[in-house]
A and B are shown apart, each in its own frame.
Chain A
Amino acid sequence: MTHQRKAAPTRRRVLAGAAAAGAVAFAPAIVRAQAKSLKIAVLLTRSGYLAPAGQSCHRGALIAPRVLADYGHQVDLVHVDVESNPDVARNQAERVINDGVDVVVGAFDSACTLAIAQVCEQRQAPLVVNIAAAPALTEQGYRFLVRNFPTGSQIAVNGLARIKAFIEATKANPKTAVFLHVNDTFGTAQRQAMDRLLPNAGMPFRVLESIAYDPRAQDLSVEVTKIRALKPDLVLVVTRAADAIKLVRDMVRQRFEPMGIISPGAPGLYDEEFYEALGPLADYHAYAVPWANPKSSMAQALEKAFKPAYPNYRFAVECFNVGFTFEALLVAADGFKRAGTTNGAELMKAIRATNIKEHIMIGGPITFDDKGQNNNVPSAMVQNRNRAPTVVLPAEDATMAPVFPMPPWQGRT
Chain B
Amino acid sequence: MIELWRIAPPRGRIVIALALAVLLALPLAADRYVISVLTLIFYFAYVGQAWNLMMGYAGQLSLGHALYVGVGGYVAALMWLKLGIGPWLGVFAAVAAAAAFGAAIGWLGFRFGIAGVYFALLTIAFAEFTRIGFDHLELTGGAAGLFLPFEEKRIGEWWNLRGGQLLFYYLGLALAAGAALLVALMARSRLGYQWRAVREDETAARALGIDAFAVKMAAVVISSGMTAVGGVFYAFYYNNLFPSQVFEISRSIELILAPIVGGLGTVFGPVIGAFVLTPLGEGLTAVTGRFGINAPGVKAVFYGVVLIVIISAMPSGVWPRLAALFGLKDHAR
Binding site for B on A (CB under 8 A): 46-47, 49, 51, 54-55, 58, 78-81, 83, 86-88, 90-92, 94-95, 97-98, 110-111, 114-115, 117-119, 121-123, 134-136, 139-143, 152, 183-186, 188-189, 192
Query: B144–A134 contact, CB under 8 A?
Result: yes
Task: List B contacts of A141 (CB < 8 A).
Answer: 149-152
B242 within 8 A of partner (CB): yes
B202 within 8 A of partner (CB): no
Interface residues of B in 21-45 (CB under 8 A from A): 31-33, 36-37, 40
Complex formed: what's the CA distance from A52 to B90 in Å?
39
Query: B37–A91 contact, CB under 8 A?
Result: yes
- Per DSSP, chain B at the interface is helix
Which of B135, B245, B296 has a CB less than 8 Å from the CB of A47?
B296
Query: A140–B147 contact, CB under 8 A?
Result: yes
Least Cβ–Cβ distance between A142 and chain B, in angstroms? 7
Q: Which 7 pairs, one residue from A and one from B, show the smallest C-beta to C-beta distance?
A: A46-B296, A136-B147, A185-B244, A189-B143, A94-B33, A47-B297, A185-B143
Which of B37, B142, B165, B294 has a CB less than 8 Å from the CB of A192?
B142
Query: B143–A83 contact, CB under 8 A?
Result: no
Query: B150–A121 contact, CB under 8 A?
Result: yes
Query: A92–B285 contact, CB under 8 A?
Result: yes
- Per DSSP, chain A at the interface is helix
Least Cβ–Cβ distance between B21 and chain A, in angstroms? 24
Complex formed: what's the CA distance from A115 to B151 in Å?
14
Task: List B contacts of A189 (CB < 8 A).
Answer: 142-144
Complex formed: what's the CA distance from A83 to B31 in Å?
23
Interface residues of B in 273-316 (CB under 8 A from A): 281-282, 285-286, 289, 294, 296-297, 299-300
Given A94-B36, A122-B164, the answer on whether A185 and B243 have CB atoms closer than 8 Å is: yes
Given A118-B150, A141-B151, A185-B242, the answer on whether A91 and B296 have CB atoms closer than 8 Å is: no
Least Cβ–Cβ distance between A52 and chain B, in angstroms? 10
Query: A90–B36 contact, CB under 8 A?
Result: yes
Task: List A contacts of B294 (CB < 8 A).
Answer: 79
Query: A58–B296 contact, CB under 8 A?
Result: yes
Least Cβ–Cβ distance between A51 and chain B, in angstroms? 6
Closest to B286 in A: A95
B206 within 8 A of partner (CB): no
Task: List B contacts of A115 (CB < 8 A).
Answer: 238, 240
Binding site for A on B (CB under 8 A): 31-33, 36-37, 40, 132, 135-136, 142-145, 147, 149-152, 164-165, 238-240, 242-245, 250, 281-282, 285-286, 289, 294, 296-297, 299-300
Which of B40, B165, B289 has a CB less than 8 Å from the CB of A122?
B165
Closest to B144 in A: A189
Query: B31–A98 contact, CB under 8 A?
Result: yes
Which of A79, A81, A140, A192 has a CB less than 8 Å from the CB of B150?
A140
Closest to A46 in B: B296
Query: A152–B40 contact, CB under 8 A?
Result: no
Task: List A contacts of B244 (CB < 8 A).
Answer: 184-185
Query: A83–B37 contact, CB under 8 A?
Result: no
Q: Which of A49, A92, A143 has the most CB of B within 10 A?
A: A92
Complex formed: what's the CA distance from A392 to B319 in Å?
63
Complex formed: what's the CA distance from A189 to B150 in Å?
23
Least Cβ–Cβ distance between B70 and chain A, in angstroms? 13
Complex formed: what's the CA distance from A91 to B41 in Å?
11
Complex formed: what's the CA distance from A185 to B245 in Å?
10
Complex formed: what's the CA distance from A61 to B258 in Å?
35
Least Cβ–Cβ distance between A65 and chain B, in angstroms? 14
Complex formed: what's the CA distance from A110 to B147 in Å?
11
A-B contact pairs, 14 of them (CB 8 A): A46-B297, A47-B297, A51-B296, A79-B294, A86-B245, A91-B36, A91-B37, A95-B33, A97-B32, A114-B238, A118-B150, A136-B145, A189-B143, A189-B144
Given A86-B245, A91-B40, the answer on whether A188 and B135 have CB atoms closer than 8 Å is: yes
Complex formed: what's the CA distance from A183 to B165 in Å?
37
Task: List A contacts of B250 (CB < 8 A).
Answer: 49
